[in-house]
Amino acid sequence: MMPSHTTTPITLATALSFAFSLPVTGTQAADLLITNATIYTVNPAQPWAEAMVVDQGEIIFIGKATEAESFSSETTQVIDLNGKFVMPGIHDVHMHPLEAGNLAAGTCMLEAGRDPETYHEEFIDCAPRQIGTNWVLGWGHYIGDLLDTARPPIEILDQSINDRPALMMEFTSHSHWANSQALEAAGITADTPNPPGGIIVKDPDTGQPNGILIDNAGMMIEANAHKKTPQFMDLMYEGLLENLELLAENGITSAVDARSYWTRNHHTVWQRAEREETLTARVNLALWAYPELADDQMETMKSLYSNNPDRLLRINQIKVYSDGIVGNTTAKMKAPYKADLGLGIEGNKGLNYFNEERLTTFMTELEQTGFDFLIHTIGDQAVHESLNAIEKVRSRNGLAVDRRHRLTHVEIADPLDLPRFQQLDTVADFQVAGDWTFPEEYAPEGELIGDRANNPIPLRTVYDTGARITLSSDYDVSPMNPFIGMEHALTRGTEALPDLASVIEAYTVNGAYSMRQEDRVGSLEVGKLADFIVLDQNLFEVSTDRISSTKVLATFLEGENIYQAQAFP
């Protein structure tokens, strides 16, 4: 059973007052005593400690081991860590544990970089194994492979699967490959116009859809395959439970589901986990803003809003895509792409899901309810437009509003826009866990955007402006393991963060701020909740190239052990 979450919120000032008022020899018997540890608190006023005392999920003492002993009684659980490293629980403020864990999301696992004509045997094998839907679903191919086929991709897929709809998601999730029955089920014909933020690719000679659906066109057709039947929802729930175990195993105690499809009832799966007390992390849901739906969708979003800090689950963010990605030339750029993939994009500068004007409208309305926005921005024009929207909203709603909007990805940005993150008090959320995020691995994008690919993901540049930054995984696009991200954030050449402390802040207190819980978690201080992890090595004592090998020995949520490795004392 999870904690009851009835702790009264404590301000930092009250917490510090409480800390200084504690007697050196405690009289309050506690539930848990962590002692003989190396505790990195992420509290600049007291960075290091030897012991921590927890009662009813709350930290009541942190400091010297000799002083902590007086809080122990016959009922206190005492854990001697023999010098092991302790730090606050990780915050991953951009991940997709529900989508990634969906057991009905697909059985066809494709390999990127192959000729699509060679997938026939995989399709024959995987199609009968699909569960939860009458569609055949899969994932993993590369959009470039489909664009180079000798015959229309729809014919290739039809040859293998022709008895029911089939839909394969590209490994970036920004395009889909459909067969004829899938297009028919979605009502897509030669006369169907492109939806906002998407492209229905058509044969230049016949005008018929060729099976490639770019960005939102693919997301819309995917909704037809994801049924809201009891079986499908149960499969989503089972997959979520598996991913919650992975979160705990990776030391993640707080996370943001960065794309909650509320028309598919994604939020109800999370609510079930909270109701059945299987939710083992603090989770904020970011409701998906649908480009194809009218603006009155905001009324439904408002009705779903919940922000009770005593609950593990809150629905208090909105996910908006400003643009697509560089790889299929849908990231919105200030200058045209160097190559044209033949997708018919006007000006060959990418596309908008939400343009600046509509984004401003949504933000102006929904931040008054309390929502924070998580805005997908890959291209430099998308970054520019999104910052413009935030600036306009600040003017319309006033500076008194406690807004905590953040731009995520920020892969390509105009240097002139980077100081605006600090000026507009906007969080920059970066993902660097994937190997492809290193500058040298990003270089092939230069074929599409030229010199703009030379300095992707300006992590250090934004940090140096004084802006607040967070680091996240975008799981399962990149590995969930936060220690890979930590190592990569320190090994990015001129764009590496200056030190480990700044990296840990991005994964803890800054993430807590983005989730509106920095007064409760994110650092280990008196008055805060005891969300912490125990590691097998001291991150400050190992070489940088060993950080990624770090293992979590135990994860605690409000003082309750939710994960324990065999090596844990």
Give start-end residues of each CATH 3.20.20.140 domain in the chain.
230-514
Are 556 and 531 spatial neighbours (Cβ–Cβ below 8 Å)? yes
Beta bridge partners of 554: 534, 564
CATH class as words, domain 105-225: alpha beta
Virtual torsion, Cα 68, 69, 70, 71, nearest 10 deg: 70
Give start-end residues of each CATH 3.10.310.70 domain in the chain. Answer: 105-225
Report yes or no: 533 and 554 within 8 Å, Cβ to Cβ: yes
Domain 12-89+527-564, classified CATH 2.30.40.10, yes or no: yes
| Predicted pLDDT at 2 | 46
- How many H-runs (helices) and E-runs (strands) does the chain carry? 20, 24
DSSP 353: S
pLDDT at position 27 is 58
DSSP bridge pairs for 256: 284
Among 249, 192, 247, which residue's Cα sits nearest to residue 221? 192
Q: Which CATH superfamily is domain 230-514 in?
A: Metal-dependent hydrolases (3.20.20.140)
Nearest to 381 by CA among 344, 343, 407: 407
pTM for this entry = 0.93
Spatial distance between the Cα atoms of 280 and 186, rounded to a whole number of angstroms: 37
Closest CA to 371 of 269, 159, 515, 169: 515
Give the Å distances, CA to CA, from 422 to 277, 429, 462, 515, 522. 39, 13, 8, 18, 21
Name, in order, each residue with C-beta under 8 angstroms of 141's C-beta and a sequence gap of 6 or more: 110, 111, 112, 114, 116, 119, 168, 170, 171, 177
Give the contacts of 261 (CB within 8 A, at least 6 positions apart).
Answer: 223, 226, 288
Q: Which residue type, as a one-letter code, is found at position 455?
A: N
User: What pLDDT, on the 0 to 100 scale, is given for residue 489?
Assistant: 98
Distances (CA, A) of 104 to 136, 158, 207, 225: 10, 21, 33, 10
Tokens matching residue 473: 């995984």
The kind and range of the H/E element at 268 are: helix 266-275
Alpha-helix residue ranges (DSSP H) falling in 292-379: 297-304, 356-366
- Tokens standing for 355? 């343009």
Give per-10-residue mean pLDDT for the chain (569 aa).
38 36 56 98 98 98 96 95 98 97 93 94 95 95 92 97 96 95 97 97 94 96 92 96 98 98 97 98 98 98 97 98 97 97 94 98 98 98 98 96 97 98 98 92 90 94 98 95 98 97 98 98 98 98 98 98 92
For Cα atoms 327, 332, 333, give the angle at the middle one, nearest 5 degrees. Answer: 95
Residues 6 or more apart whose Cβ sits within 8 Å of residue 178: 154, 157, 165, 166, 167, 168, 186, 209, 211, 212, 213, 218, 221
Pick the closest to residue 77 from 22, 25, 29, 39 (CA basis): 29
Q: What is the DSSP string of 76-110?
A: -EEEE-TT-EEEEPEEEEEE-HHHHH-TTS-SEE-
Contact (Cβ atoms closer than 8 angstroms) between residue 378 and residue 326: yes
Start and end residues for every CATH 2.30.40.10 domain found in the chain = 12-89+527-564
Task: Give, to the nearest 10 degrees, the angle between helix 266-275 and helix 230-249.
Answer: 60
